[in-house]
Structure 1
Amino acid sequence: MQFDILIRNGTVVDGLGGDPYQADIGILDGCIAEIGKIEGSADEEIDAAGKLVTPGFVDIHTHYDAQATWSDRLTPSSSHGVTTAVMGNCGVGFAPCRPEDHDNLIRLMEGVEDIPGVVMTEGIPWKWESFPEFLDFLGQRNYDIDIGAYIPHAPLRVYTMGQRGLNREPATAADLAQMSSIVSEAIEAGALGFSTSRSLNHRSSEQNLMPGISASESELMAIANGIKRAGIGLLQFIAEFSEPETDFAMLRRVTEKSGVPMTFSLSQRPNTPELWRTILRLTEQANKEGTNIQPQVYCRPIGLLLGQKLQYNFFFFSPSYVAIKELPAHERLTAMHNPETRRKIIAEFPADVPDSVINRSLVDLENIYLMTDSFDYAPKDQDSLAAIAAQRGVPLAELAYDLLIENNGENVFYAPALNYAEKNLDAVEEMLKHPDTLFGLGDGGAHVGIICDASGQTFMLQHWVGDGGRGSISIGQIIKSLTLDNARAMNLMDRGVLAKNYRADINVIDRDRLKLYRPEIQYDLPLGGGRLTQRANGYTATIVAGEVTYRNGEPTGHLPGKLVRGAQPMPRVNIVTLTS
């Protein structure tokens, strides 16, 4: 048989959760045509001896809503083995939207997801108003991965209610009917579901709370029923859970009464380090009683990246630094080398810091670490800036200042903000292993100046695999969590598995060479804006719909990725375990 691509001699981890096995994979017309010992030839053969062959990774929590309108490469995610990404999370996005509300939605995205407003103003073409028109625009474009989208709550509410929606006023019966109808229309056009945020940390660039933060249960029910009426979809939430039992009960009622599955963000918070256990207990109880709720968890600390050339650093709130922070990076660095400026900024540390998890993390030098290539994302106390200052016998703020301007201002520092309350990853491991959780929260496309967590898939393979990593999770289960579990949660039944007739979304991975480089700034946004990216070694090939998109970490120029419209049916296969 003649194939387009033949992957020979690989160690196949098929996404079903079982042990690896040796097999060849033949690809034809964008799908897997054969698996086993294959006799045949191909236009291209990939020797995968000694390497893992896995399904392409499915990333269910990204924010490429803006990037997807101006770029055909959805990095960093696509360079870490991701072949399908879901955007529109957390209730922010750009459709539906009337022309007069463009700036409102940009300010929301700028504040919540840390994407510069001027970049979006320049880059977003706004060739749509309704959500179906937004999908039509995306559907005309090609990418290095497939993308799917939620309809987000903020634009939905503003489109329906105008200024009343932005002001967080209660929705009228007419508002509820219109929102429900728009959501149904979006699902029919191909939305994967609906997303919203009830987080106090999510604010516009003008510090206004999200339009949907206090939406009533009746509003959420109307939206959920809009999904149910139109077909298949998902509810995606981020919530405070400040009153865990009460807040969870409301979300549970919405998903129970509507029958629409739900997913939400879950992490260990420093001020309530045991709250995640309560939420998992409530989730487990609800699911045993027939609901479908799956928290999304991340695989390491959700950390802030600080530096002289980045958006934030430990002196961000010092008045003498505020006076120079808007200068171009090279001019700011020159000013910081001035002895008098140095003296003033150090004397002002830590200044008056507005109270929030992020702001507190900026000045907690006991929990800030200098990054290197192959950085340990479970850093030890003895590696913190405070410990280094004590070892050297120098004042802590002076050491931090000097490291900040050292190396031409290129140094990058890591401040774990979530998932590291006890200075270890024990809570993360327990969350990852829980049968009700999904892997997510990488936030690809967002937080371009302070967070770079879209490399989580690579970290999972480095850190958590039990046969050589630090963790105790089998390679089969790791790959299943990155592929099949997420694909099924999103109702994308045609991917996430290496089996005959499934999509040929595939990674060939050399685990011995897997390496994460230190995050770096890449100036490729509109207007030359910078964003954090992170490179990796070890991906021999990434294949999307039967075309090699990355080879040894470098893009090939092929762009087979497309918009995924709605639920995708399972291919006809003869493997019983695929339907179990």
Structure 2
Amino acid sequence: MLDLLLEGGTVIDGAGAAPRTADVGIRDGRIVEVGRITEASRERMQIPGAWVTPGFIDIHTHYDGQASWDETFSPSIHHGVTTLMMGNCGVGFAPVRPGGQARLISLMEGVEDIPGAALAEGIRWGWESFPQYMDTLAANPHSLDFLVQVPHDPLRIYVMGERAEANQAATPEDIAAMRHLLREALQAGAAGFTTGRTDNHRTAEGRETPASEASAAELAGLAQAFQGLSHGVVQVVSDFDLLRDPGRFHAEFDLVEQLARAASRPLSMTWLQRDPGGEQYEAIQARVEAAVSRGLPLYLQVAARGIGVLLGLDASFHPFIGFPGYKEIASLPLGERAAALRDPTRRARILAEKPDRLAGDGTPIPPLVDILLQRIELISARMFPLGARPNYEPTLADSFLVRAKRSGQPAVAALYDYLCEGDGSNLIYFPIFNYNEGSLDVVHRMLEHPRTLAGLSDAGAHVGTVCDASFSTFLLTWWSRDRERERLPLERLVEMLSSRNAHYLGLTDRGVIAPGMRADLNVMDPSRLGLRGPELRRDLPAGGKRFVQTAEGYLATFVAGRAVQRDGIISHERPGRLVRLGSRAV
């Protein structure tokens, strides 16, 4: 007898085949049959017209701390994710020397905008080495499967101490010690190695991250830890800086190629359209294609939409956060703050002020923020109201620049009045990257590239500024159904979210709906599938706040055949586990 029969759904199998009507039979956590099934089953779901897809695999999350206190991996569980990978961008919480926990918390707080107080209260420490960290997480129940990567920054701090934080060059002895620790973690089943090389990442004190300037010799030396192993990936984020210095761009890409060559394992990097410097994404594409033609396994992680921020009075940032008149009332409860901002005298005063400098020493805020605040009138053309049904491809006509012109006032005044309306909960959508053309046409081009991986959700991170854990739902709905311009086939989008990412990671037991595969599945009502607006909740440890965005239309999500959510309600089932790769795979 089957444990579960999904009857009459539209199966999008994850392998790229056209959708077809079929039943799916499940027993002992595995798919045992796909087609017309007459066998008896303990549970039956009659789902004519519903989409049945493999569970989605998110390769770029930052749940490294949240995994310690949140069994459900919210909000990813609301968006069809059944397997996720954390430890990206070179930051994480292992290895760690006794007494070094606060240093790693400060690093994560600065780089990924996760409240330090929440991390300090929520993480249940109990490890020093990376394998011990894995064992600790594996012992806790979870809804979803997860993989962990070894982040460069903690590795460097563990071996080099203060010299790492001073960005000193690693000695051959340092590199050998780090390589030994990385190898130990990979042999324990870690999924790979990650490093961050971007000026936008800062510690909570505003300093450069410890590995941001690591040399080619250090990276290549660490990559040798993969030698003789048949598993593991490498993830890199870098600015590349083509606009500032073409020579630096090519030197940096040479370094990435050396890293990939030394590891001989798949390497993925962030791919986006910068502003300024929009042409850089094409230069990255050209270098990747040339490298792939020479046999290097390079991949490009692409976002499903613009990469930007949510601005609001209670979010981490908004256009008036640096104004002296706003700072005077910044500590008031949200509703009282909005009312105080509506006072005509205060309004006139703030609109006549200039913002104080926010970035610099002692703060993780990147210089870009100050530049943007000084150019509000200009960049208001890329700021848009975000409603209860968010539109992530708005036009110039929707912008605050045009909104202001229609009302005959400066854009800064239109932004001000919108933010302090009602209870002060209005949000502004500000796509910084991937939106130079005022549309998502560039994202369409990226998504069509054969080396593209669906990634960059940053789920669990930047909790006061973004909520891109919803990328999977957006990818399906916007790009296959809702967009009026060029779309993409549904079967290709499902393949990107499932089997393509599984193949990249080396996961052979999931990502496709076929007999013998794990029963990691989504059942969705396509007529209802869509995103709700982000909500700011204070549900982190120590009362920390974060944006949470949920979805409609997910009838059920199954992990190993057990329903972890039905109709948006998270169940008490905890089938999730740490996925170990290589000889330690379980």
Q: TM-score, normalised by structure 1?
A: 0.95
Which 10-residue stretch deviates more, 301-310 or 191-200? Answer: 301-310
Identify the residue that residue 58 of structure 2 maps to in structure 1: 59
Which of 522, 525, 528 is 2:540 aligned to?
Answer: 525
CA offsets 1:355-375 (integer angstroms, 9 cap, x no match): 744554563222111111222
Call closer, same or farther: CA 1:280–1:32 in 2, change over 3 Å.
same
Q: Equivalent residue for 2:21?
A: 22
1:535 and 2:540 are equivalent in the alignment: no
CA contact (8 A) 1:361 1:415 kept: no
CA distance in 1, matches of 2:553, 2:370: 35
Distance 1:194 1:158, change over 3 A: same
| 1:129-528 correspondence to structure 2 within 5 Å | 129-242=128-241, 243-349=248-354, 356-361=367-372, 363=376, 364-465=379-480, 470-528=485-543
In the alignment, what sits opposite 1:577?
A: none
Distance 1:47 1:361, change over 3 A: farther
How many residues are treated as equivalent by the alignment?
570
Give CA deviations for 1:228-263 in whole Å, capped at 9, x if unaligned: 245421111001112322211121122123312211
Residues 31 and 545 in structure 1, CA contact (< 8 A), matched pair in contact too: yes
SS in structure 2 opposite 1:99? coil
Query: What is residue 79 of structure 2 aligned with on the other side?
Result: 80
- Seen in structure 2, the aligned counterparts of structure 1 residues 82 and 568 have a Cα distance that, compared at 3 Å, is farther
**Distance of 2:358 and 2:409 partners within structure 1:** 24
C-alpha spacing 1:514/1:60, structure 2 compared with 1 (3 Å): same
Q: Contact between 1:7 and 1:24, CA under 8 Å: does it hold in 2?
A: yes
Equivalent pair of 2:187/2:583 in contact (CA under 8 Å): no
Kindly state the Cα deviation for residue 349 of structure 1 after the two structures are TM-superposed.
5.0
1:424 match: secondary structure: coil
1:22 counterpart letter in structure 2: T
Q: What's the % identity of the aligned pairs?
A: 41
For residue 126 of structure 2, what is the amino acid of its counterpart?
K
Work out whether 1:562 is the aligned partner of 2:577. yes
| Aligned-residue offset at 1:326 | 3.8
Q: Is the 8 A contact 1:492 1:568 kept in 2?
A: no
Distance 1:427 1:277, change over 3 A: same
Deviates more, 1:229-238 or 1:333-342: 333-342
CA contact (8 A) 2:303 2:471 kept: yes
Query: Contact 2:189 / 2:583 at 8 angstroms: preserved in 1?
Result: no
Amino acid at match of 2:527: D
Distance 1:360 1:418 in 2: 15
Residues 167 and 230 from structure 1, CA distance in 2 versus in 1: closer, same or farther, beyond 3 angstroms?
farther
Name the stretch that deviates more: 88-97 or 361-370: 361-370
Greater shift after overlay, 311-320 or 357-366?
Answer: 357-366
The CA distance in 2 between the partners of 1:367 and 1:467, in whole Å, is: 21
Deviation at 1:99, TM superposition (A): 2.4
Alpha-carbon displacement from aligned partner over 1:6-35 (angstroms, at most 9, x marks no partner): 100011111111211111001111111111
CA separation in 2, counterparts of 1:228 and 1:339? 67
1:263-305 deviation per Cα after TM superposition (whole angstroms, max 9, x unaligned): 1111001111010011011101111111100010111101210
Instruction: Give the deviation of 1:568 after TM superposition.
Output: 9.1
Asked if the contact 1:490–1:567 (Cα under 8 Å) also holds between the matched residues in 2, the reply is: no
Which residue identity is paired with 1:57?
Answer: F
Equivalent residues of 2:334, 2:423 under 8 A apart: no
Mark the CA change 1:469 to 1:556 in structure 2 (over 3 Å): closer, same or farther. Answer: farther
The structural deviation recorded for 1:90 is 0.1
Q: Is the 8 A contact 1:491 1:567 kept in 2?
A: no
2:507 partner SS: coil
- Tell me which amino acid in the other structure corresponds to 1:80: H
Counterparts of 2:334 and 2:397 in 1: how far apart (Å)? Answer: 30
> Per the alignment, in what secondary structure is the counterpart of residue 468 of structure 2?
coil
Mapped partners of 1:144, 1:470: distance in 2: 37
For residues 436 and 192 of structure 2, what CA distance do their matches in structure 1 show? 32
Task: Note the C-alpha offset of 1:339.
Answer: 3.2
User: How many Å separate the matches in 1 of 2:394 and 2:372?
Assistant: 15
C-alpha separation between the residues in 1 aligned to 2:339 and 2:490?
A: 49
**For residue 541 of structure 1, what is the amino acid of its counterpart?**
A
Report the 3-state secondary structure (helix = DSSP H, G, I; strand = E; otherwise coil) of the residue aligned with 2:474: helix
Deviates more, 1:87-96 or 1:9-18: 9-18
> Structure 1's 279 and 10: CA in aligned 2 closer, same or farther, altered over 3 A?
same
Deviation of 1:335 after TM superposition, in Å, equals 3.3
Deviations 1:164-207 (A, max 9, x none): 11111111111111100000110111210001100011000101
Question: Could you list the per-position Cα deviations for residues 75-103 of structure 1 after superposition, in whole angstroms to 9, with x for gaps in the alignment?
Answer: 11110000001000000000000122211
SS at match of 2:42: strand
Please give the TM-score of this superposition, normalised by the length of structure 2. Answer: 0.94
Mapped partners of 2:372, 2:17: distance in 1: 40
CA 128–171 in structure 1, closer or farther in 2 if over 3 Å, else same: same
Distance (whole Å) between structure 2 residues aligned to residue 420 and residue 357 of structure 1: 17
Q: How does 1:111-122 map to 2 (within 5 A)?
A: 111-122=110-121
Shift of 1:570: 11
AA of the residue aligned to 1:262: L
CA RMSD of aligned residues (A): 1.9
Tell me how far 1:436 sits from its aligned partner: 0.8
Q: Which moved more, 1:464-473 or 1:499-508?
A: 464-473
C-alpha distance in structure 1 between counterparts of 2:326 and 2:288, whole Å = 46
Query: Distance between the aligned counterparts of 2:162 and 2:228, measured in 1?
Result: 28
Distance in 1 of aligned mates of 2:413 and 2:487: 41
Closer, same or farther: CA 570–509 of 1 in aligned 2, 3 Å? farther
> Quick check: 427-436 or 344-353, which moved more?
344-353
Runs of 5+ consecutive residues of structure 1 not aligned to the other structure = 572-580
Look up the equivalent residue of 1:216 and give its one-letter code.
S
CA distance in 1, matches of 2:526, 2:481: 13
Structure 2 residue runs without a partner (length 5+): 242-247, 360-365
Q: 1:343 to 1:249 in 2, by over 3 A?
A: same
1:79–1:536: 8 Å Cα contact kept in structure 2? yes
1:340 to partner: Cα distance? 2.9
